[in-house]
Amino acid sequence: MTCRDRADAYAAVLKFTSSFDEDGSRLLPTKDLHSKLQQNEKVILVDVRMPEEQKVSMIPGAVTKEIFEVEILPNLVDEANTAKETCPLVVPYCTVGYRSGMYCRELTRTHKLDKQNVMNGEGVIMWTFDAGALARPLSGASAGRAPSLQEVSRTEDGLVQSFGAGDADCRSPIECREVHVYGKTWDFAAEGFHTVYFSNAGGARRFLASKCKAKPVATASLWFGTLLVWYLGLVPMCGVMFGCGCHLAFTKITQVAPCNIFDNVKLKCPWCTCSGLPCILVGSDSVAWKNVPIFDTTPDGFFITIVTVVVIHQLWRRIDRRMSGKSTQLWTLVLTKATVTVVWFFVYSLVVGLLFFLCSSDYPVFFSEVRTVEAPLNLTAGAMAPRTVAQNSHGGSGLTPVAPVAPVADDQHGGSGR
């Protein structure tokens, strides 16, 4: 049964908005908001609720979050950089102020709006107690907006009212006394208002769905993809550049298994036979710090991981700053960051590969570039030479070089670089 007690409703609002006080997200009393709207002050009401909630009713004069970010926010960011004192007051709202409080935080932190120009609304429930009628959202060319307070006030004499979400009168800007309170926990409304809410399962499902679309989840997915690209792609890149035989696989040992460093050839891949400090550039930290106390405990790939995290973090921050004032969808932002990440991977690999090639004058191949070397190249057992496959005692197969494998001392070649 719907609770009609204003004190209980206000207690719910305070419970879910108190955590935003530390951020400076001030709570705007509904009576003050109503007064500002009556006096035609410069106020932008932003409904951050789900479309299913907005279809039932909205606060008069409000716009949806989507309309706000596409048509209004870019101009506000420009005004904030020039004349903060002339910016309108932005008031996001939801049911009891929690979701709108989160959006206030985003507006001030990400979009850099001044905190003096952003206040958190108490929500649609308190509007029913302290302000009065709500409004059906407009349709057609004005979709995503609610009629103004003045338009709704003209219908408060009861001549034009509708209480059903499917009524034909919903096409007109009219007063509405139906409110979506999201869940049974927040089933509060003033006398004369009918409440609608999601089931417990439906509310939880929609909440999780909204979180899965949120930027933090997208950022975590981007970081996972970034590290996966480096894990799977770095070793195969040396196979592409030097023609050594390294290829794409799910484990490092499988990636490097076909490399010509295991063949009886005189010229071996400079990337895979690195020695000394340059090995940290190709993920072979254990080889680079082999005789250095303390540092010899560094795991392979540590240096590349640190460099990648620092560089990618800075690149993504620049992208966020450039797009913060634009009407950019989340998927566009994610795609841009993913593209920049892939470009950085290829640029790093090519630059490091070129450095190894230039410093290894006895290795002839870099992509399609083939240079003459003094030492003759053993083509019969080189990187591109065919290999025989022998059956082992368990019925499996293993790679067997054409010629016997010459043992390679660690001190001579510094390990395989893996």
Domain membership of residue 418 (yes or no) is no
Interhelix angle 302-323/215-242, rounded to 10 degrees, is 130
Domain membership of residue 17 (yes or no) is yes
* Residue 134 sits in the same domain as residue 260: no
For each of the chain's 418 residues, which pLDDT tens digit applies? 899 999 999 999 999 999 887 777 899 999 999 999 999 999 999 999 999 999 999 999 999 999 999 899 988 877 766 666 678 999 999 999 999 999 999 999 888 898 999 999 999 999 999 998 999 999 888 889 999 888 777 655 443 333 333 343 343 447 789 999 999 999 999 999 999 998 877 766 666 666 665 677 888 899 999 999 999 999 999 999 999 999 999 998 999 999 988 888 778 888 998 888 999 999 999 899 988 898 888 899 999 999 999 999 999 989 887 876 555 677 888 899 999 999 999 999 999 999 999 888 888 888 877 776 554 444 333 333 333 333 333 333 333 333 444 444 444 444 444 4
pLDDT recorded at residue 34: 95
What sign results for the dihedral spanned by CA atoms 406, 407, 410, 411? Answer: negative
pLDDT recorded at residue 156: 52
Task: Specify the DSSP class assigned to residue 397.
Answer: E
* Residue 140 sits in the same domain as residue 92: yes
Residue 299's contacts (CB-CB under 8 Å, 6 or more residues apart) are 285, 286
Domain membership of residue 394 (yes or no) is yes
Give residue 197's domain range. Answer: 6-212
* Residue 206 sits in the same domain as residue 227: no
Q: Note the pTM of the prediction, 2 decimals.
A: 0.54
Domain membership of residue 129 (yes or no) is yes
CA dist 194 and 367 (Å) reads 71
CATH number where 172 lies: 3.40.250.10
* Residue 253 sits in the same domain as residue 196: no
* Residue 184 sits in the same domain as residue 260: no
Output the six-digit token pair for 4.
């009609």
Total structural domains within the chain: 2
* Residue 227 sits in the same domain as residue 207: no
pLDDT recorded at residue 413: 42
* Residue 202 sits in the same domain as residue 230: no
Given 167, 190, 212, the domain boundary residue is 212
Domain membership of residue 194 (yes or no) is yes
Given 166, 188, 212, the domain boundary residue is 212
Domain membership of residue 1 (yes or no) is no
Domain membership of residue 326 (yes or no) is yes
* Residue 141 sits in the same domain as residue 232: no
* Residue 202 sits in the same domain as residue 221: no
CA dist 120 and 45 (Å) reads 10
* Residue 205 sits in the same domain as residue 225: no
Q: What are phi and psi of 195, to 5 degrees?
A: -100, 150
Task: Specify the DSSP class assigned to residue 298.
Answer: P
* Residue 248 sits in the same domain as residue 296: yes
* Residue 242 sits in the same domain as residue 197: no
Domain membership of residue 208 (yes or no) is yes
Cβ atoms 84, 162 nearer than 8 A: no
Given 171, 194, 212, the domain boundary residue is 212
